[in-house]
Chains A and B, each alone.
Chain A
Amino acid sequence: MTLADLKTGQSGKILKISVSGALKRRLMDMGVVPGTDVRVEKVAPLGDPIEVRIKSYALSLRRGEARHIEVEGTHSS
């Protein structure tokens, strides 16, 4: 499962980033590192991008980028 599969309000734990190079480094620099909890807060009105909460701040990214982030679902609320 990837971050793009989580629905609004669902949380997950990051397992791995399945892309390499600049994009991976950029994601990691923004706090998207394995073991971190994420929660999908919002989806943009046109369906993309999405807003997630990670390391206590709000990050937005496109679904295309979120698909590179493997997560395991924890719980939904």
Chain B
Amino acid sequence: MSALIASTVHRGKSGRRTHLTIAVAGNPNAGKSTLTNAIAGSRLSVGNWPGVTVEKKSATFDFQGRKITLVDLPGTYSLSPYTQEEVVARDYLVHEKPDVIINVVDATNLERNLYFTLQLLELNIPLVMALNMHDEAAQKGFRIDIDKMALMLGSAVIPTVATKGEGIGRLMETAVAFADASETQRPAVVSYGEDIEKAVAAVAEQLKDHADVVSGHLPLRWMALKMIEGDARAIEHYQTEAYAALTEKAAHHLRSAHGEDLEALLADVRYGLAAGLTRETLRKPEKRKRELTERIDAVVLNRYAGIPIFFVAMWLMFKLTFDIAGPFTDWLDGIVAGPLPRWAAVLLAAISAPDWIVSLVTEGIIAGVGSVLVFLPPIFAMMFFITLLEASGYLARAAFVMDRLMSAIGLHGKSFIPLLLGFGCNVPAIYATRTLENPRDKALTALLIPLMSCGARLPVYVVFTAAFFSAYAVTVLWSLYLLGIVLAVLVGFLFKKTLFRGEAPVFIMELPPYRIPTAKNLMIHTWEKGKHYLMKAGTWILAISVFVWFGLNLPWGVEAKKESYLGKTGQIIAPVFAPLGFGTWEAASSLLTGVVAKEIVVATMGEVYAPGAEEKEEEASSFSEDVREITVSFGGAFVDAAKNVFSTFGVATMSAQEDEETAGLKSVLAKTFTPLSAYAFMAFVLLYLPCFIVLVAMRHEFGSWKWAGVTIVYQTVLAWMVAFVIYQGGRLVGL
């Protein structure tokens, strides 16, 4: 083997390809992403595989004078056709035909990893094994016979420690050498036993004339095995009904000897072989030490302490997220509200742009960009903590602890965290559903997230409770949060029985060992998750903000808000709200703008109910003063964040402060609302469709508007019904 590598590793050999594609495949948590990052570094780009929201990470870079494309495949336990990840991985391997596969194997968990390796070998693509986590294996006292393993698999085996970059150089050199020698460097054909091999030969004999096989598009052995397994996707996809019939003959023979389930038979045989390979190559120490992970779990998953520990962890994460992000959000808000539009106005005046352009830029575009920016700190903070939970191994434990509760409403244990995050801000919560693998669980969780009352709704509650319920403000506030939770349980139950009926949820999950995540890993993953939002959602949000600006400012030269398109729309839809107790155009217009962000409801109410009170002229400040102020307040944001982290109390809320501007509003509200209609209004604000940033996030996470559409419809209906019941019910009992 090493002779072969030596003979092909020479540079400048004629006939070698100038662009190589290398697939990185392996079990979840084996270290594929860490390895890919170690090799490709910042050149990695992250997106989604077409049609599904499974992450696609790839990087193209120069290595030894030629181009290499590295593709980090989703982690799977098998290449069966049952999960999105598996389908993505195998379709890529079968159809895109990488020049070589780097199979990342967790050396501490050899048998299960080798089961996957065996399936990769069936593809007949040159394979190089990265025997990763070699440090952990060594620490456990495992001794692995690498040469023997390489010989048995007909592949190269390179020990690596992805986190430290150990073995990476050799791995890449070997992979490239294997790609160059791909005609001869095929992996071993591992025999699955006489009976199966006979059937494979018989089916392969029939398949070898299939066009895709002839043209070299499909690996023959793999194809034959899939036919025998009765792999529905393969049979359908390759349209081999005729062949399927022939397969049936071979399969029939196998069935009579080995029982009905051939898929299970093959899984069984592969595991048998994996066990054999493990026995041949791995020496474990006689006595297994009680590992750190088990000792931590004895506490963390303890019958009595498990749940309290979980809640403390959640509370900490929640608090830290908003404590740290809050000051930076305020800082960004300050820039977007003050200096930025000022500078833009000055610039535009310098080129003598018409007034409406100035207004469009400052109130439409900059405000739109601003609404994207202010979400950045909480999104990045939250993604950081989620990454931390995920990478450390605690996320799986959290799911384990909460699953019982969540399964009652048809959810997965992992759904709890996105739902909880929803109380801070629904947008990062939607992105947090990425930790759920199953599309069904993901969709159901995302649909319930908007019922969690986010920070942006609080300003609305604050104004109304202050105006109507100052004596029992806290109770009223809590009742609203509780209303959201209770409805989430009911709606979840309803969806489970309707939209998601028949899709059996499963909870079969590995509990990976605890690991201390590396700083580099944390940063990369946090950035990848946040970048998505910045790039994709940003453009949508900008477009919609501009749209709303036009709504408020058309027809041209409109003065009174009532006469703008938005105001007119408000007048038209106002009767819809009459049975709910707030059928005025002012309330209707405010609710309409609330689609941009729910706290805007208060701002709009300020404008439509109490015009004139707005916009005190600010004293002009020079550019350099602005810059100094921004810099100083940025420093201040750090200090505030640090203070927040260390202060134990003070409920973390975003933009919850009540300022003088709303004082005038309160007295106006007291005249147009009754306590009952005020409560109905608050419930409506809690429940009606979420801000469009959430909708954009949903479209982004699910690749279509479908679930965003469902959310719009069900929440609007729900909000109306609940507000109706509150208002009319309250009147019935004489409130």
From known contacts A44-B401, A59-B508, infer whether A28 and B268 are also in contact, taking CB-CB under 8 Å: yes
Structural contact, B306 and A22, CB atoms closer than 8 A:
no
Structural contact, B404 and A46, CB atoms closer than 8 A:
yes
- Which residues of chain A in 1-33 are interfacial with respect to chain B, using CB atoms and an 8 Å cutoff? 17, 20, 22-31, 33
Q: Which of B77, B80, B83, B403 contacts A44 (CB 8 A)?
A: B403
Q: Which of B268, B297, B404, B506 contacts A33 (CB 8 A)?
A: B268
Cα of A61 to Cα of B505 in the assembled complex, Å: 12
Cα of A63 to Cα of B396 in the assembled complex, Å: 17
From known contacts A45-B306, A65-B506, infer whether A25 and B404 are also in contact, taking CB-CB under 8 Å: no
Residues of A within 8 A of B396 (CB): 60
Q: Which of A25, A49, A57 contacts B507 (CB 8 A)?
A: A49
Structural contact, A30 and B268, CB atoms closer than 8 A:
no
Cα of A24 to Cα of B265 in the assembled complex, Å: 12
Structural contact, B507 and A65, CB atoms closer than 8 A:
yes
Find the B residue at minimum CB distance from A20. B261
B393-411 interface code vs A (CB 8 A; 1 in, 0 out): 0001000110111010000
Q: Which of B271, B404, B405, B513 contacts A31 (CB 8 A)?
A: B271
Q: Which of B264, B507, B511 contacts A24 (CB 8 A)?
A: B264
Q: How far is the CB of B395 from chain A (nearest CB, A)?
A: 12
B79-114 interface code vs A (CB 8 A; 1 in, 0 out): 010110000000000000000000000001101100
Residues of B within 8 A of A26 (CB): 80, 82-83, 506, 508
Structural contact, B271 and A61, CB atoms closer than 8 A:
no
Residues of B within 8 A of A24 (CB): 261, 263-264
A67 adjacent to chain B (CB < 8 Å): no
Structural contact, A57 and B401, CB atoms closer than 8 A:
no
B301 adjacent to chain A (CB < 8 Å): yes
Structural contact, B267 and A42, CB atoms closer than 8 A:
no
B304 adjacent to chain A (CB < 8 Å): yes
Find the B residue at minimum CB distance from A26. B508
Cα of A30 to Cα of B268 in the assembled complex, Å: 11
Find the B residue at minimum CB distance from A56. B109
Structural contact, A25 and B115, CB atoms closer than 8 A:
no
From known contacts A31-B115, A45-B303, A45-B401, infer whether A25 and B267 are also in contact, taking CB-CB under 8 Å: yes
Cα of A55 to Cα of B27 in the assembled complex, Å: 14
Structural contact, A61 and B508, CB atoms closer than 8 A:
yes
B486-520 interface code vs A (CB 8 A; 1 in, 0 out): 00000000000000000010111111110000000
B48 adjacent to chain A (CB < 8 Å): no
B704 adjacent to chain A (CB < 8 Å): no
From known contacts A24-B264, A25-B267, A65-B507, infer whether A49 and B403 are also in contact, taking CB-CB under 8 Å: yes
Structural contact, A62 and B77, CB atoms closer than 8 A:
no
From known contacts A49-B403, A58-B510, A60-B509, infer whether A30 and B112 are also in contact, taking CB-CB under 8 Å: yes
Cα of A30 to Cα of B303 in the assembled complex, Å: 26
Cα of A45 to Cα of B302 in the assembled complex, Å: 7
B307 adjacent to chain A (CB < 8 Å): yes
Structural contact, B400 and A17, CB atoms closer than 8 A:
no
Residues of A within 8 A of B21 (CB): none
The A interface is mostly helix, strand or loop, or mixed, namely: mixed
A51 adjacent to chain B (CB < 8 Å): yes
Q: How far is the CB of A45 from chain B (nearest CB, A)?
A: 4
B78 adjacent to chain A (CB < 8 Å): yes
Structural contact, A34 and B268, CB atoms closer than 8 A:
yes
Cα of A48 to Cα of B402 in the assembled complex, Å: 9
Structural contact, A29 and B115, CB atoms closer than 8 A:
yes
B257-290 interface code vs A (CB 8 A; 1 in, 0 out): 0000101100110010000000000000000000
Residues of A within 8 A of B263 (CB): 24-25
Structural contact, B306 and A25, CB atoms closer than 8 A:
no
Structural contact, B111 and A55, CB atoms closer than 8 A:
yes
Q: How far is the CB of B580 from chain A (nearest CB, A)?
A: 39
Structural contact, B271 and A33, CB atoms closer than 8 A:
yes
Residues of B within 8 A of A47 (CB): 404
Residues of A within 8 A of B508 (CB): 26-27, 30, 59-61, 65
Structural contact, A28 and B401, CB atoms closer than 8 A:
no
Q: Which of B302, B304, B504 contacts A23 (CB 8 A)?
A: B504
Residues of B within 8 A of A55 (CB): 109, 111-112
Q: Which of B405, B507, B512 contacts A46 (CB 8 A)?
A: B405
Q: How far is the CB of A32 from chain B (nearest CB, A)?
A: 9
Structural contact, A31 and B403, CB atoms closer than 8 A:
no
Q: How far is the CB of A53 from chain B (nearest CB, A)?
A: 9
Structural contact, A45 and B267, CB atoms closer than 8 A:
no
Structural contact, A57 and B112, CB atoms closer than 8 A:
yes
Cα of A51 to Cα of B504 in the assembled complex, Å: 20
Structural contact, B403 and A48, CB atoms closer than 8 A:
yes
Residues of B within 8 A of A45 (CB): 301-304, 306-307, 401
Cα of A45 to Cα of B457 in the assembled complex, Å: 34
Residues of A within 8 A of B403 (CB): 44, 46, 48-49, 62
Residues of A within 8 A of B413 (CB): 49
Cα of A62 to Cα of B304 in the assembled complex, Å: 19
Cα of A47 to Cα of B307 in the assembled complex, Å: 12
Residues of B within 8 A of A36 (CB): 271
- Which residues of chain B in 393-435 are interfacial with respect to chain A, using CB atoms and an 8 Å cutoff? 396, 400-401, 403-405, 407, 413
Find the B residue at minimum CB distance from A17. B264
Find the A residue at minimum CB distance from B267. A28
Cα of A36 to Cα of B115 in the assembled complex, Å: 14
Q: Which of B80, B302, B401, B507 contacts A61 (CB 8 A)?
A: B507
Find the A residue at minimum CB distance from B76. A29
Residues of B within 8 A of A30 (CB): 77, 112, 508, 510
Q: Which of B301, B307, B509 contacts A42 (CB 8 A)?
A: B301
Cα of A36 to Cα of B511 in the assembled complex, Å: 19
Cα of A28 to Cα of B506 in the assembled complex, Å: 14
B57-83 interface code vs A (CB 8 A; 1 in, 0 out): 000000000000000000001101011
Find the B residue at minimum CB distance from A42. B301
Cα of A55 to Cα of B303 in the assembled complex, Å: 25
Q: Which of A26, A29, A36, A43 has the most CB of B within 10 A?
A: A29
Interface set of A (CB-CB < 8 Å, partner B): 17, 20, 22-31, 33-34, 36, 42-49, 51, 55-62, 65
Provide a sorted-by-A list of 27 A–B residue pairs whose CB atoms are within 8 angstroms: A23-B506, A26-B80, A26-B506, A29-B77, A30-B508, A31-B112, A31-B271, A33-B268, A43-B303, A44-B403, A44-B404, A45-B303, A45-B304, A45-B307, A46-B307, A48-B404, A55-B112, A56-B108, A56-B109, A57-B510, A58-B293, A59-B508, A60-B400, A60-B511, A61-B507, A62-B403, A62-B407
Which 5 A-B pairs give the minimum distances between C-beta atoms? A46-B404, A29-B78, A28-B267, A58-B511, A45-B306
For the complex with contacts A26-B83, A31-B271, 10 further pairs of A-B residues with Cβ separation under 8 Å are A24-B261, A25-B267, A28-B268, A33-B267, A33-B271, A45-B304, A46-B404, A49-B507, A55-B112, A65-B508
